[in-house]
Amino acid sequence: MGIGDVLSKERVVNGLKSLGKLRLTVNHASLLTFSTLLLILFIAFVIRVLPIKWEIQAGSIHLSEFDPYFQFRFTEYIVKHGFISWNWPQPWIDYQRWYPWGISIAMQGFPALPFTTAFLYNIVTALGVNIELMSFCAIIPPIMGMLACLALYFLGKDIGGKTVGLFAALFLALSSSFLQRTSLGFYDDEAIGIAALIIFLIMFLRAIDENRPQSSSMKYAVGAGLALGYFSAGWGAAYYPIDATAVFVLVLILLKRYSQRLLLSYSLTFGLGLFIAINVPKLSPTYLATAPILAASGVFLLLCVYEISQVLTTMKLKVIFVAAFLALIVGGFVALWQLGYMQDIAGKFLSVINPFTRITSPLTESVAEHRISAWGSIYYEFGMTILFFIIGLFFVLRNLNNRNLFLLILGLTSLYFASSMVRLFVLMAPIFGLLGAIGIVGILRPFITLLKEPPKIVTKRKYSLDYVGKEFSGITILLIFLILTTNFALSPQTGGVPKVYSQAYAPITITVGSIPIVPYEPVREWVDMLEYTRELGASTVVCSWWDYGYWLTVLGNVTSLCDNATINGTQIENVGFIFIANETQSIKMLKEYDANYTLVFTTIDTSGNWVGVGDEGKWGWMARISGKGKDRLISSGFMDASNSWGDSLEDAEKFGNYTLGYDATDSNEDGDYEDDGEIYANAKGQNTTIYKLMTYARDLWLYENGISDSEPTAPEYFEAAFIAGLSLSADDADKYGGIVPLVALYEVKYPSS
C-alpha cells in the first residue's frame, strides 16, 4: 500500500469526519441544566462575598464575629508548624489565651476545617499566589457554601431528577441562615459541615440502593464513611447525621426492609466514620460511649441480630440466641454504668432535647445563637416555602421508598431541632430546600406535561370539570412563580427588600466596630485599638469581657483572660467579678492574674446616652455570671458577704433595674419611666468598675468635644492608656448613624501596699 493510498482523498475525508465524533454532543436540555446550575452557583458565591465592599475600604480582609478567630489561630499554627504539630510530639497549649493556664487547642478544636484550609493554602502558595492567610480563610466559607449547593444539586438529582436538584440548590443558595454562616469571613465549622453532611447523604443513599452492583455499593459506603468522619472531625453537630441515620435504619428494620446490603453499608460507613472520629483528640475513644453513639451501635447490633436470626432455622436455636443476646445487652449496659462510662451528653446538645435544662446556666444562655428559637423565626427564615415544604412532605409520604423515608425522617427531625436552637436552622436549610423542591416539582409536573403535549388531564370536580387547558397550567406556573417572588425578591418579612440582600449586605463585625449598622465606610475604632495593642507585646495581659478575647489575642497580639471558647467557667466568673465589683475588690482579683490592662467597649450617642451595643448592654450578664461563683468568691475573701449578689435576674437588678447605675420607679403609674424624677441613681451600680471605666471614656469624649464642661474624674486604679473613638467628632458620628463607639484601654495601677 503506497503513500498515495494512505493519503487518498476518501481516507482523509473519513478521518476528518471521525474527528468530528469527538465533539461533545450536548443536547439542549442538558445545556440548559448546566447553565442554570452555573448561574445558581454564581449567585451563591456572589451574594456571599458582598461584604467585601467594606473590607476593601478597610484595606484588609478580616474574619467576622468571634469564633472564626479561633479557627484562624489554629489554621495559622498548622500552616507555620506543619500538620501534626498541634498534637505531636505534645499538644499545643496556647498561652496567649485563658491566661495563666492557657488553652489546649487539641482538646478544644475540631481539626477538619483548619486542615482543609491549610492544605488548600499550601497548594495555592506553592503555585505562587501571594495571599494573606486571613484573607484566604475569609474566602473559604463562600467557596464551601457554593460547593454545598453543588452537592445538593446532585443529591436532589438522585432523589427526584434534575429539576428537583436545581430547585434545591437554588433554595439552599438563598437560605438566609445558611447564607449567614457561609458568608465572607464566617470561617467556622458550619462552612464545611453542611457540605460534608450533603456528601454523606448522597453517598449513603447510593450505598444502600438495591439497584446498584454490590461493588459500587461498597465504594459508596466507604465514601459515606469518609464523609461522616470528615464531618465528625469538623463539627460537633455530627450527632445529628449519625442518629438520623440510625433512626432511619431502625425504621427500615421495623418496616421489614432489612437487606444484607444495609448491614454491610451501615457497618462499613459507621465503622470508618467513627474510626476517624475517635482519632480526633477532642472526641477521643470516649466518644463511642456517649449516648447518641451508643444508640447508633444499638442499631448496628439489631442489624446483626436480624441477619443471624435469618440464618438460624430452628425455633430452639432462635430462642437460645435471643436469650443470650438480651443477657449480653443487659450485662454490658450494667457493666458500663457501674464503670462510669456512660457520660452525659454535652450540655448544649441535651438542651436541644429538653429546652428547659438550659435555663439554669446563664453562661450558655447569654449566647444568642444557643437561645430557643421562636416559632415565628421559621417563617422569617423560610417564608412561604413552608407551603412547598409541607407539600413536599406529602409527596414523600405518598411514595415511601427508602430514599423518601430517609428524607421524611430528616425533614421532621431537623424541623424539631431547628425549632429548639437557632443555630441549628443551618442544619435544616439543605433538607428544607430539598423537600421544598420536591413539593414544587411535584405540583408542577402534571401542568408541565400538559403544556408539552395536548392530551386532556382529567381532574375531579364537583361541577364535573373535565380537563384543564394549556393556558390554565401556564397560570399555575405563574402563580407559583409569584409566590416564590414574594419569598426571594419582595419579602414582606423585611419590608420588601430581598431577604437575601438584607442579610448578606452587612459588613463584617469588626470592620463595623461591632455596632449593628450598615455604614458607607468602615468603622475604624476597633481596628485602631488592636493596632495599638500590637505594640504592647504578646506577653501583656489584657482583661476584657470574653467577647473581645479572640480579637485581642489574634488581631491585637496580647494575652487575654477569656474568650468565646468558654472552657473555664470559674475564670469567666472572675472576669465578670472584676467588672461588676467595686474598684477595691476588682483590683484584688486583677492582682491574681497580674493583668496589665483592662479593656472596655461602650457605645454612646452624641449627647452621651448609652446605645446598648457595647458593655453597657452586657453588664447584666457579667453580674449574673459572676454571681454564680458567689459562695466561692465569699469564702476566698473577694466578695463581701453583706454586699454579695447571686446569679438571678433580681440580683443583677441590684446594680440598677433601669440600666447600670440607675433605678426607675413608675411613681405616677402611667406605664412608662421616662418622666422626671422617676429615674434616679443607684449607688451600688455606679460604684462598679465597669460603670466607672465606661463613664470616664464617655465623659472624656463629651468634654473633649465641648458638649459638657465638667472635666471627668478618673477612676482610682485605672489610667486611660488609649481610648479609640475619642478623636471622633460629633459630625463624624453621623456617618455611623449617630453612634460613637468608644474602645477604652486602661492601664491597671496597682496600689503600692
Partner 1 sequence: MFPKASDLHKPNKPLIPNGLGVIYVLASATYLFLLYYYFQTTGAEVANDVASALVLAVCVLFGGFMGLLDDWMDLRWRYKAFFPLIAAIPLISLATRLPLRTYIVLPFFGIIDFGVYYYFIIIPLIVTIATNTVNQLGGLNGLETICPGIILSGLMLLSGSSAILLAVPFFVWFVLAFFNFRGKIFVGNTGSFAIGITLAAFAIISDLKTSLLVSLLPYIFNSSLILLTYFLFRTKAAVWFDGEKLSASHRRSLITVVAHNRRLTERQVVVIISLLVAASTSLAVLVQLFWT
Cα–Cα distance, 524 to 515 (Å, whole number): 11
Measured from the CB atom, the residue of 370 and 499 that comes closer to partner 1 is 499
Name the minimum Å distance from CB 467 to partner 1. Answer: 6
**Total residues interacting with partner 1, rule: CB under 8 A:** 36
Q: Is cis: bond before 89, omega within 30 of 0?
A: yes
Cα–Cα distance, 601 to 723 (Å, whole number): 10
Does 460 engage in binding with partner 1 (CB under 8 A)?
Answer: yes
Measured from the CB atom, the residue of 378 and 740 that comes closer to partner 1 is 378
Does 458 engage in binding with partner 1 (CB under 8 A)?
Answer: no
Name the minimum Å distance from CB 385 to partner 1. Answer: 11
Given a contact cutoff of 8 angstroms between Cβ atoms, the answer to whether 196 and 226 are in contact is no
Name the minimum Å distance from CB 449 to partner 1. Answer: 13
Q: In this structure, are strands 739-748 and 597-605 parallel, antiparallel, or unpaired?
A: antiparallel
Among 384, 517, 634, 679, binds partner 1 (CB under 8 A): 384
Given a contact cutoff of 8 angstroms between Cβ atoms, the answer to whether 80 and 181 are in contact is no
Name the minimum Å distance from CB 485 to partner 1. Answer: 8
Among 483, 634, 714, 726, binds partner 1 (CB under 8 A): 483
Name the minimum Å distance from CB 391 to partner 1. Answer: 8
Concatenated DSSP letters of 667-720? TT-SS-S-STTSEEE-HHHHTBHHHHHHHHHHHHHHHHTTS--SPPPPPSSEEE
Name the minimum Å distance from CB 486 to partner 1. Answer: 5
Cα–Cα distance, 385 to 493 (Å, whole number): 13
Contacts of 330 by beta carbon, 8 Å cutoff, 6+ apart: none
Name the minimum Å distance from CB 471 to partner 1. Answer: 5
Name the minimum Å distance from CB 648 to partner 1. Answer: 24
Stretch that binds partner 1, among 134-142, 327-335, 348-356, 463-471 (CB under 8 A): 463-471
Residue 166-195 contact track with partner 1, rule CB under 8 A, x = bound:
------------------------------
Measured from the CB atom, the residue of 443 and 742 that comes closer to partner 1 is 443
By CB under 8 A, the residues from 484 to 503 that bind partner 1 are 486, 490-496
Given a contact cutoff of 8 angstroms between Cβ atoms, the answer to whether 57 and 68 are in contact is no
Does 737 engage in binding with partner 1 (CB under 8 A)?
Answer: no
Name the minimum Å distance from CB 476 to partner 1. Answer: 5
Measured from the CB atom, the residue of 160 and 234 that comes closer to partner 1 is 160
Contacts of 523 by beta carbon, 8 Å cutoff, 6+ apart: 511, 512, 513, 515, 517, 736, 741
Measured from the CB atom, the residue of 107 and 477 that comes closer to partner 1 is 477
Helices (H), 208-287: 214-232, 239-254, 260-278
Measured from the CB atom, the residue of 318 and 456 that comes closer to partner 1 is 456
Q: Looking at residue 59, what DSSP letter applies?
A: S
Stretch that binds partner 1, among 35-43, 257-265, 460-468, 509-517 (CB under 8 A): 460-468
Quick one: cell of 63?
Answer: 474574619
The enclosing H or E element of 202 equals helix 189-207
Among 471, 669, 674, 731, binds partner 1 (CB under 8 A): 471
Name the minimum Å distance from CB 475 to partner 1. Answer: 5
Measured from the CB atom, the residue of 117 and 493 that comes closer to partner 1 is 493
Name the minimum Å distance from CB 672 to partner 1. Answer: 15
Measured from the CB atom, the residue of 322 and 386 that comes closer to partner 1 is 386
Measured from the CB atom, the residue of 380 and 673 that comes closer to partner 1 is 380
Does 467 engage in binding with partner 1 (CB under 8 A)?
Answer: yes
Does 586 engage in binding with partner 1 (CB under 8 A)?
Answer: no
Q: In this structure, are strands 597-605 and 541-543 parallel, antiparallel, or unpaired?
A: parallel
- If we measure between CA atoms, which residue out of 484, 606, 593, 601 comes closest to residue 545? 601
By CB under 8 A, the residues from 337 to 376 that bind partner 1 are 376
Which residue has 496589665 as its cell numbers?
A: 596
Does 516 engage in binding with partner 1 (CB under 8 A)?
Answer: no
CA separation, residue 103 to residues 80, 108, 109, 316, 534 (Å) = 19, 8, 10, 58, 21
Cα–Cα distance, 33 to 55 (Å, whole number): 35
Which residue has 462575598 as its cell numbers?
A: 49
Stretch that binds partner 1, among 10-18, 124-132, 476-484, 616-624 (CB under 8 A): 476-484
Measured from the CB atom, the residue of 342 and 482 that comes closer to partner 1 is 482
Question: How far is residue 65 CA from its own chain's centroid?
Answer: 11
Stretch that binds partner 1, among 277-285, 458-466, 562-570, 678-686 (CB under 8 A): 458-466
Q: Looking at residue 264, what DSSP letter applies?
A: H
How long a stretch of residues is the chain? Answer: 753
Measured from the CB atom, the residue of 13 and 465 that comes closer to partner 1 is 465
Quick one: cell of 352?
Answer: 436541644
Name the minimum Å distance from CB 167 to partner 1. Answer: 17
- In three-state form (DSSP H/G/I as H, E/B as E, the rest C), the secondary structure along 486-535 is HHHCCCHHHCCCCHHHHHHCCCCHHHECCCCCCCCCCECHHHHHHHHHHC
Does 463 engage in binding with partner 1 (CB under 8 A)?
Answer: yes
By CB under 8 A, the residues from 433 to 452 that bind partner 1 are 443, 446
Stretch that binds partner 1, among 242-250, 254-262, 466-474, 741-749 (CB under 8 A): 466-474
- Count CB atoms within 10 A of the CB of residue 79: 18
The residues that touch partner 1, with contacts defined as CB under 8 A, are 376, 379-380, 384, 386-387, 390, 443, 446, 459-461, 463-469, 471-472, 475-476, 478-480, 482-483, 486, 490-496
